[in-house]
Chain A
Amino acid sequence: MAPLDLTGMFGVTGSYLVYIGIGFCFGFILESSGFGDSRRLAAQFYFSELRVLKVMFTAIVVAMLLVFWASALGLLDYDELMVKHTWLWPGIVGGLIMGVGFILGGYCPGTSLVSTATLKIDGMFFLFGHIVGVLAFGETVGYFYEFWNSSYLGRFTLPELFGLETGVVVLLVVCLALAMFLGFGWIQRLVYGRGDPQ
């Protein structure tokens, strides 16, 4: 049953190639979807183009459905998956800072890699800033180490939070995504009188 034992199956070098391959597909899709262009990413926050929302939530929904179908069929052990652990407040504060960084800088970390790879100078400046930012974090985290490790809830999932069956939560997430596609699209037509440009 999956997840597979990568190193056991392909050796260390083989597992490295698998990761480069997964990254290759990831980067290829990001660039092909227009995510190497900061203007199209920032446009999300003005409702003039909703690519970020559409790509992200379609990806989340598709991956979520596949993960839970595969688990239901006994092909995949959900308990063995690395579900990001929750440190609630550091995550929320970090997220807010990143939202500000996103609208000022025009990229997120992954998209700046793709932008840099296609020689966009703004992407390179962003990536350079990103490197400065992570180094600054390493130098300053000592001052708020306690906060950084606070509100730790472990491997905590939405079904546990709401006390609902996983299937119900999966269905709710699908509904949320559809509602956001419709709602954001409605605002977009209200403001610009059109949908996404090609």
Chain B
Amino acid sequence: MNDLSEKFKYWNPYVGGALLGVVLFLSFFITSHGLGASGGVNRVAVAVQDMVVPEHVDKSPYLAKLAGGDIDPLRHWLVLEIVGVMLGGFFSGLLRGRVRLQTYHGPQITPRTRWAFAFAGGILMGYGARLARGCTSGQALSGGAVLSVGSWAFMFAVFAGGYGLAWFVRRLWQPGT
């Protein structure tokens, strides 16, 4: 590839990781909890659901806890945090010329195939993240750093699921056969 994205290298992963660790620590120090992502997306989704079918939301015990009656699911730190995540990601990309409409896909598949799998993977990720009460950010990273047993079990389960299936779906990502 000869596009701009190759001109600006990504950070050394150990440097990026160390900076992320400092931010995670500051989050705990200042706010008492770690970072999050899927919980924020969940609240936005439920807020939309609450606008469309409010009676349905009030009737489901799980949804009512998030958005029942007068509760506004958007008044929560997670929602503000994901707004910040998108702004930060956007600015980082902007500075390095990586804000461009494009599809990242493996060399053996078309963008259209990639979209279908991205959508399907997203559904599983969203469903699993609610089941596990957190995602890579909220559980693995944040719970892992403060030594939560459940977060460590969760983290190994994510890696097990990914590595367990990777060989069978290698055509999605790998070159060659």
Q: How far is the CB of A178 from chain B (nearest CB, A)?
A: 12
Chain A residues with CB under 8 A of B127: 97, 101, 133-134, 136-137
Centre residue among A50, A135, A148 by max chain B CB count within 10 A = A135
Q: Which of B13, B118, B144 contacts A123 (CB 8 A)?
A: B118
Does A114 contact B86, Cβ atoms closer than 8 Å?
Answer: yes
Contacts A56-B17, A101-B124, A110-B135 known; A122 to B115 CB distance under 8 Å?
A: yes
In the complex, the answer to whether A23 meets B14 with C-beta atoms within 8 Å is: no
User: Is A21 in contact with B18, judged by CB distance below 8 angstroms?
Assistant: no
Instruction: Check B35–A26 contact: CB distance below 8 A.
Output: yes
Q: Which residues of B contact A80 (CB under 8 A)?
A: 32
Q: In the complex, what residues of A have CB within 8 A of residue B23's CB?
A: 22, 25-26, 29
- B166 at the binding interface (Cβ < 8 Å): yes
* Interface size of B as a range: 35 or more
Which A residues between 95 and 138 are near B, CB-CB below 8 angstroms? 95-123, 125-138
Q: What secondary structure prevails in chain B residues at the interface with A?
A: helix
Query: Which residue of B is nearest A152, CB measured?
Result: B150
Q: Which residues of A contact B46 (CB under 8 A)?
A: 134-135, 138
- Residue on B nearest A141 in the bound complex, by CB: B62
Interface residues of B in 144-162 (CB under 8 A from A): 144-162
Given the known A-B contacts A27-B87, A39-B106, A158-B149, are A104 and B29 also in contact in the complex, defined by CB atoms under 8 Å?
A: no
- If A22-B26, A109-B37 touch, whether A133 touches B85 (CB-CB below 8 Å) is no
- Residue contact A122 to B132, C-beta cutoff 8 Å: no
Residues on B with C-beta less than 8 A from A50 are: 13
Question: A45 to B166, Cβ gap below 8 A?
Answer: yes
Q: Is the CB of B80 within 8 A of A20?
A: yes
Cβ B104 vs Cβ A19 within 8 A: no
- Given the known interface contacts A29-B20, A62-B22, A110-B137, the answer about A129 and B149 at a Cβ–Cβ threshold of 8 Å is no
In the complex, which residues of chain A have a beta carbon less than 8 angstroms from the beta carbon of B18? 58-59, 62
B129 nearest CB across to chain A (Å): 6
Q: Which residues of A contact B (CB under 8 A)?
A: 2-4, 6, 15-16, 18-34, 36-40, 42-46, 48, 50-51, 54-64, 66-67, 70, 76, 78, 80-88, 90-123, 125-139, 141-142, 145, 148, 153, 155-161, 166, 169-170, 173, 196, 198
B55 → chain A, closest Cβ, in Å?
14
User: Is B85 in contact with A30, judged by CB distance below 8 angstroms?
Assistant: yes
When the two chains form their complex, are residues A32 and B129 in contact, meaning their CB atoms are under 8 A apart? no
Which residues of B come within 8 Å of A, CB atoms? 9-11, 13-14, 16-35, 37-38, 41-42, 44-46, 49, 60-63, 77, 80-93, 96, 98-106, 111, 114-166, 169-170, 172-174
Contact of A99 among B20, B60, B147, B164 (CB under 8 A): B164
Q: How far is the CB of A37 from chain B (nearest CB, A)?
A: 5
* Distance in angstroms between the alpha carbons of A96 and B100 in the assembled complex: 32
Residue picked from B44, B60, B93, most chain A C-beta under 10 Å = B93
Contacts known (A100-B162, A101-B121, A134-B41); A27 close to B132, Cβ less than 8 A: no
Bound form: Cα–Cα A40–B25 in Å:
26
Please determine whether A16 and B125 come into contact, CB atoms closer than 8 angstroms.
no
Q: Are A2 and B29 in contact (CB under 8 A)?
A: yes
